[in-house]
Chain A
Amino acid sequence: MSHEMTAGTESADLSAELSAIERLHVAGLHAAGDAPADAVLSVRDLNVRFNTENGVVHAVRGIDFDLRAGKTLGIVGESGSGKSVTSMAIMGLLPPTAEITGSVRLQGKELLGLSDKAMCQYRGNDIAMVFQDPLSSLTPVYTVGNQIIEALTVHNPTMSKQAKEARAVELLGMVGIPSPKDRIKAFPHEFSGGMRQRVMIAIAIANNPRVLIADEPTTALDVTIQAQVLEVLHAAQEETGAAVVMITHDLGVVAGMADDIMVMYAGKPVETGSVDDIYYNPRMPYTMGLLGAVPRVDAAEKSSLVPIEGIPPNLIHPPTGCSFAPRCPLASDACLHGEPELRPVTGASLNGGLPHRAACLKTGSLGPDVDVREVFRAPAVPVSHFDAIPRAERRTVLELRDVRKHFPLMKGALIKRRIGTVKAVDGLSFDIREGECFSIVGESGCGKTTTLLEIMEFHKDQDGEVVIGGLSNKEASDAKTKSAMRKELQMVFQDPTGALDPRFTVFEVLSEPLENAGMAKPQIRKRIMELMELVGLQPDHVNRFPNQFSGGQRQRIGIARALAVNPKLVVLDEPVSALDVSVQAGVINLLDQLRAELGLSYLMVAHDLSVVRHVSNRVAVMYLGKIVEIGDVDSVFDNPRHPYTRALLSAIPVPDPVLERTRERIILQGDLPSPLEAPTGCNFATRCPVFVALPPAKQEKCLSLEPGLATVAETTGAGHPFPAAPIDQQFACFYPDGELDADMLVVHETN
């Protein structure tokens, strides 16, 4: 950067102390005709530096954009790419130690350099923010009404109490909270995560802001709730006419919402353009890689994902060449000399919004006809030798028969009395054959993880039978059988950091299960080298501690540990949900490959249906401890029968803007019912879109009878889980073909 900011951090008002050069520079940034007249927010050359113990981290390196009223800008990037820092800099929420230069203008007024007090006039009034974690963004000791009214009071001191209350009720109603008049007196803990995020949105739009910044607003939420919240955001934008900055790592979420997209990498925008330009005509290898790395929930055809190797650069050292060059398969010598600037893409469609620009020397040669998989050398789709054998002829590696896990719910301080039962898992039966991947999907709280724990527990006193590799928990559960079982079954955890002992070197991590299996020292060493190679890690990294690896590499170590004793079945608990998109692709490819090469079976629990579709052969959809639909992944995903599966699938955002705009969505009302109020009939009746549209006579049946699993084929013999039906799909619903309630169906006919 050519300009320097004069040091004057102790002063409350920075703008007064700006040097003449700086003032000229800022003025030059907003030269006449540069920013469009109707832009509510224009950002020019925004730079953020943090002083850390290791040196100065240049977290954001020159961001420009203009935002028009009513438009949505999506900022996409991996963690550490500077997306959140950008939003915090605009809001003036960064700590005083951060050095911010450039210019941020809200409706022509400069925001940078304003004191905290001066910023308060704008924050929550003209510019508002929705944060990522709804659980911690509301103060637990005030009612939600109080917190909305607080936002109103600060900016409208003259408003009467009645008016404020009325406005709060109106806002709660606007974000879709049922009976807002009563709920206004509720405390945050009485709301679920999705409801709290709605309240956050209500607070954000309370003063009709011109700009609404949403920082990963749905990352912490379930897919069905995510769909609800996105819908609310959409409605809020329409209501207030605000411009929205949507920050996310999920390319699917922004596809349907955004008008323009900015892809960030290493603190710099590397590609900007309208949403169609970015998704259908990416011109920067990083964007191409990101798009190729996302599995698609709507694609049956199996193709391996595009892995982007390596990790983002350390921003302590200014990059001398293209920051993406070390990970870019197309990088040449020219890329290493001088960082490429954003330049207009030739032949781009100019249909308003951001012009399509990309920061890559090779932009011209990267047309829409370039195959991403070829560019990134995505591995071929691995084929398991089990794929050729029909499922019925393969050996069963895991079988669950009527497994239940009920937790008693106690109340009372001294004398505990049982007030109910939480049926976390309620009569689960399925089996897994050799070489297949079986997935369990569902919202949080549906009993997925409890099922895994029940299997891993393997205890005689369990309710129901678990058979692992021919060993049943009922017959013998002495130490010997257990250790034999442990050799058949291993687990990979969700959080790769937590699953590795921080004090163990990789060598120790991997040697532990081998030592336990009684292997000799030289053999252990040989096996560990094998394992490191198998999961794609450098063998000489065995002496490192886990904290010296990136998230993806840590997950690879976790996988290597699980494979150490040559298990037949690996249990994967959300194996990629903690990883970045680009890294996630590499791990998914690895899992695919291992399954094919080693003939492994997987039992996977995941909430990301796209990942499930990509990896699995069979899938079970769980709702409140019960399987509501089970079967071959393609038949379940392409032709879902149970209304819940249909809602779940329609809620998944697809990284395809055109499809996303025209797709009809089933927005489920409300949240998972409390397990205490579990209905007697069909569990799903309280939220079911089909149920609402049914005539009362048929509704009666749903409420009184519990539907069993029925095959899609004409044989409605419920009970036996796996009949040799032509279609491998079963569902638990009386009226799968019933009409959907119109209120719950949302179609975006916009754009």
Chain B
Amino acid sequence: MTNLNTVDPAAVAGEAKIENSDVVITKSSIILRRFLRNKTAVVGLVIFLALTLFSFMGGLFTSWDKERIDPFNIGMPPSAEHLLGTSQAGIDLYALTVEGTRISILIGLVVGLVSVLIAAVYGCTMAYFGGKVDKVMLFILEALIMMPALLVVAVATSGGGNGLQKSLPSWLLLIIVLLVFSWMGTARLIRSLSMSLMTRDFVKAAQYMGIPPRRIVWRHLVPNIGSLLVLDITRGITGAILAEVAFSFIGIGIKVPDVSLGVLIGQATSQVSTFPWMFWVPLTVMFLLTGSLAMMNDGLRDAFDPSSSSVGRAKRSDPGKGKSGKTPTTAGKKTT
């Protein structure tokens, strides 16, 4: 290996291949391949995508919309005309579910993604700079944790924020409020994780190479807590959907005429026995949503984690590379 003067024909061939850019696989495709190996996760993703698609395209399959009242069918069970029946106000439940699912997914995605992003950047920045910056940022964080989120949501969405309410739809207002109160726990966790990463040599190496701090945080710290972030994103989406359902259920989240799964469930609870379809339809959709996310969680972690078992399995199927010696970290639980 040390003798550089001998020309290895395999190396030359390899180099030619690299020139043709066949060999350099981008990391995103590696991650995608690994994700696709986890069947449960793929099923989860398919369900989630189907629900998303349904929430956007579902409206095309019915002539009814969420505002039109059918005066002849008030509180009717599912029929040929109304696939999922109608609500007590005589509005098509299918149209309502489509609309509600869309709002719920939107809230979940935006809150889940953005709050984790805020948490990651905030936590990493705290850890990277340390000292005074850390102290001030930690104080802000603590102050936000102390604030009673429920009250703020109630005030913002009902009485207090009148001016805001006029200019913003209630779902957007809820997103903002949820965002403000959802990132602190994750940020603290990320801060402590990044602090231990900061002592690792590769961060020092990057500093000594003269890489600007912004890029170190973004390229070295954030990806290294990546598996945690991914888990937190999917958990955050689930959490946001559940929070929206809960707030709407007790009447302080989404306000009618806006619809969400929570609003639908909340309206139907009082008459589960008489109008069961009104309760079970949105509830099933909600379970499908959160369940599919939980299924995806595992696969995503496998995909992002370099030491995951996903590599081991790939090696085994390729007899040529199977004997590449002991790599202690690839010995994952799922290889057998």
Asked whether B210 is an interface residue with its Cβ less than 8 Å from the other chain, the reply is: yes
Contact bitstring B70-82, A, C-beta under 8 A = 1, else 0 = 0000000000000
Selected from A456, A533, A550, the residue in CB contact (under 8 A) with B4 is A533
Selected from A379, A543, A590, the residue in CB contact (under 8 A) with B25 is A543
Asked whether A539 is an interface residue with its Cβ less than 8 Å from the other chain, the reply is: yes
Asked whether A459 is an interface residue with its Cβ less than 8 Å from the other chain, the reply is: no
Selected from B2, B327, B333, the residue in CB contact (under 8 A) with A593 is B2
Whether A547 contacts B330 in the complex (CB less than 8 A), given A542-B23, A590-B2, comes out as: yes
* A26-B200 Cα distance, complex, nearest whole Å: 50
Q: Chain B contacts of A590 at CB under 8 A?
A: 2
Asked whether A486 is an interface residue with its Cβ less than 8 Å from the other chain, the reply is: yes
Q: Chain B contacts of A593 at CB under 8 A?
A: 2, 4
Instruction: Count A-side interface residues using an 8 Å CB cutoff.
Output: 57
Residue of A nearest to B309 (CB): A53
Selected from A54, A490, A500, A543, the residue in CB contact (under 8 A) with B23 is A543
Asked whether A450 is an interface residue with its Cβ less than 8 Å from the other chain, the reply is: no
In the complex, the answer to whether A311 meets B325 with C-beta atoms within 8 Å is yes
Asked whether A34 is an interface residue with its Cβ less than 8 Å from the other chain, the reply is: no
* A75-B112 Cα distance, complex, nearest whole Å: 57
Q: Chain A contacts of B24 at CB under 8 A?
A: 507, 525, 542-543
* A622-B171 Cα distance, complex, nearest whole Å: 67
| A496 CB → nearest B CB, Å | 9
Q: Chain B contacts of A537 at CB under 8 A?
A: 1
Residue of A nearest to B223 (CB): A503
Q: Which A residues between 443 and 479 are near B, CB-CB below 8 angstroms?
A: 456
Q: Chain A contacts of B10 at CB under 8 A?
A: 538
Q: Which B residues between 188 and 218 are near A, CB-CB below 8 angstroms?
A: 200-202, 204-206, 208-211, 215
| B202 CB → nearest A CB, Å | 4
In the complex, the answer to whether B2 meets A586 with C-beta atoms within 8 Å is yes
- Among A204-212, A508-516, A641-649, A685-693, the one that faces the other chain is A508-516
* A593-B226 Cα distance, complex, nearest whole Å: 39
In the complex, the answer to whether B11 meets A525 with C-beta atoms within 8 Å is no
* A533-B1 Cα distance, complex, nearest whole Å: 9
Q: Chain B contacts of A540 at CB under 8 A?
A: 11, 14, 17-18, 23
Residue of A nearest to B335 (CB): A53
Asked whether B220 is an interface residue with its Cβ less than 8 Å from the other chain, the reply is: yes
Residue of B nearest to A552 (CB): B1
In the complex, the answer to whether A501 meets B209 with C-beta atoms within 8 Å is no
Asked whether B27 is an interface residue with its Cβ less than 8 Å from the other chain, the reply is: yes
Selected from B14, B202, B209, the residue in CB contact (under 8 A) with A539 is B14
Residue of B nearest to A536 (CB): B1
* A561-B1 Cα distance, complex, nearest whole Å: 18
* A135-B226 Cα distance, complex, nearest whole Å: 34
| A568 CB → nearest B CB, Å | 15
Q: Chain A contacts of B326 at CB under 8 A?
A: 80, 311-312, 314
In the complex, the answer to whether B210 meets A483 with C-beta atoms within 8 Å is yes
Residue of B nearest to A500 (CB): B202
In the complex, the answer to whether A539 meets B2 with C-beta atoms within 8 Å is no
In this complex, which of B208, B326, B330 has the most chain A Cβ atoms within 10 angstroms of its Cβ? Answer: B208
Hey, which bits of chain B sit against chain A, CB under 8 A?
Answer: 1-4, 10-11, 14-15, 17-18, 23-25, 27, 30, 200-202, 204-206, 208-211, 215, 219-220, 223-224, 226, 306-307, 311-312, 323-327, 329-333, 335-336
21 contacting pairs across A/B (C-beta < 8 A): A53-B332, A53-B336, A307-B1, A314-B325, A456-B208, A493-B205, A498-B201, A499-B204, A502-B307, A507-B24, A508-B27, A516-B210, A536-B2, A536-B3, A538-B14, A540-B23, A547-B329, A547-B330, A548-B324, A550-B325, A586-B1
